[in-house]
């Protein structure tokens, strides 16, 4: 027998024996798990195919000579033969495609048990039970639920007192908006789905002051930011004049917003807070992620709690 074939058989047997020993020493072995069986089958196939391919091409290098029709092109007088794809390679290529389709549809990922899938199903079931149990709570009970959810999900960034740790980590929820946030939005625009849909606010290059007929200036931005952050109360200030000339056409003369046009920037509202929880928000401090793990009732409760923080001011 040719030494090459002999070594191929020895290596194949040794590698298959090592695979068997590795699996055999594991507690329970394959344990009837299709993932384990597929892994072992893949290992066996890889060993056999690899040894077969190595032997085949080593033999070719030992005995074969280049034949066939040369291509017209050459690079530095190095030509290339117009040889077809080897039949064996074509079969293995097509076989890999067929196996891949089988694996992803019938074999494992789609049909087999998944801990993640089971977890998601259980979460859906618990969310449905939660929604049913607490569907009708309102008033202080809803605020209390919102506080509980806040202390679990929001406190890490917004702080125990909901002040955003001095607005270093997140927004201060005790007030509707800060000067810094107003300036950021005016300068950079906003597209955070605060209305639940894509209604972007332009940046400063698209904000004209109707009173002057010119683009908003830095001084006007400072003034309107102070006016809005102050609760739109000082109606005789320069900021109030800028607001009337630039912002009121979308946000309304009282800053309460306009449906499908712009959000309420004077006070917190349930739809606004729920949209922030649904879609996240980009602001001067950074990006707040969407709170996908909260269900609809929990988001409503958080909105009720946040609105309660500024009541009575």
pLDDT band at 214 (very low <50, low <70, confident <90, very high): very high
pLDDT band at 43 (very low <50, low <70, confident <90, very high): confident
* pLDDT of res. 31: 65
Choose among 280, 288, 282: nearest CA to 203. Answer: 282
- Other C-beta atoms closer than 10 Å to the C-beta of 112 total 13
pLDDT tens digits, residue range 89-143?
A: 899 999 999 988 888 877 766 666 778 888 888 988 998 899 899 999 999 999 9
Rounded distance between C-alpha atoms, residue 208 and residue 304, angstroms: 36
| Mean pLDDT on 47-65 | 84
User: Which of residues 203 and 22 earns the better pLDDT score?
Assistant: 203
Rounded distance between C-alpha atoms, residue 38 and residue 30, angstroms: 10
Range with lowest mean pLDDT among 8-12, 151-155, 184-188, 209-213: 8-12
Note if the pTM is more than 0.85: no
Helix axes 34-63, 3-25, angle to 10 degrees: 170
Query: How far lies 32's CA from each of 29, 44, 65, 116, 179, in Å?
Result: 8, 17, 49, 20, 63
Rounded distance between C-alpha atoms, residue 56 and residue 88, angstroms: 11
* pLDDT of res. 56: 84
Encode 49-105 in three state secondary structure: HHHHHHHHHHHHHHHCCCCCCEEEEEECCEEEECCCCCHHHHHHHHHHHHHHHHHHH
Rounded distance between C-alpha atoms, residue 248 and residue 134, angstroms: 39
Q: What does pLDDT average to over the chain?
A: 87
| Mean pLDDT on 255-261 | 91
């Amino acid at each position: 027998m040719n030494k090459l074939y002999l070594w191929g058989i020895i290596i194949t047997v040794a590698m298959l024996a090592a695979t068997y020993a590795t699996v055999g020493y594991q507690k329970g072995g394959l344990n009837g798990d299709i993932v384990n069986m597929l892994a072992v089958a893949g290992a066996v196939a890889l060993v056999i195919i690899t040894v077969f391919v190595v032997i085949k091409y080593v033999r070719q290098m030992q005995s074969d000579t280049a034949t066939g029709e040369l291509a017209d092109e050459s690079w530095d007088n190095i030509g290339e033969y117009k040889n077809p794809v080897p039949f064996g390679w074509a079969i293995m290529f097509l076989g890999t495609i067929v196996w891949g389709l089988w694996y992803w549809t019938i074999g494992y990922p789609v049909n087999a048990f998944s801990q993640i899938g089971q977890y998601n199903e259980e979460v859906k079931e618990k969310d449905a039970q939660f929604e049913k149990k607490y569907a009708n709570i309102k008033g202080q009970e809803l605020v209390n639920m919102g506080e509980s959810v806040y202390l679990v999900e929001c406190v890490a960034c917004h702080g125990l007192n909901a002040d955003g740790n001095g607005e270093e980590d997140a927004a201060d929820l005790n007030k509707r908006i800060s000067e810094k946030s107003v300036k950021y939005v005016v300068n950079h625009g906003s597209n955070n789905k605060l209305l639940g849909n894509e209604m972007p606010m332009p940046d400063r290059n698209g904000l004209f002051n109707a009173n002057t007929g010119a683009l908003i200036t830095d001084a006007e931005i400072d003034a309107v930011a102070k006016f809005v952050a102050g609760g739109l109360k000082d109606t005789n200030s320069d900021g109030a004049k800028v607001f009337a000339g630039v912002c009121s056409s979308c946000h309304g003369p009282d800053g309460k917003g306009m449906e499908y046009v712009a959000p309420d920037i004077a006070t917190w509202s349930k739809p606004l807070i729920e949209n922030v929880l649904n879609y996240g928000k980009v602001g001067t401090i950074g990006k707040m992620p969407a709170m996908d793990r909260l269900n609809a009732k929990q988001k409503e409760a958080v909105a009720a709690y946040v609105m309660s923080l500024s009541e009575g001011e």
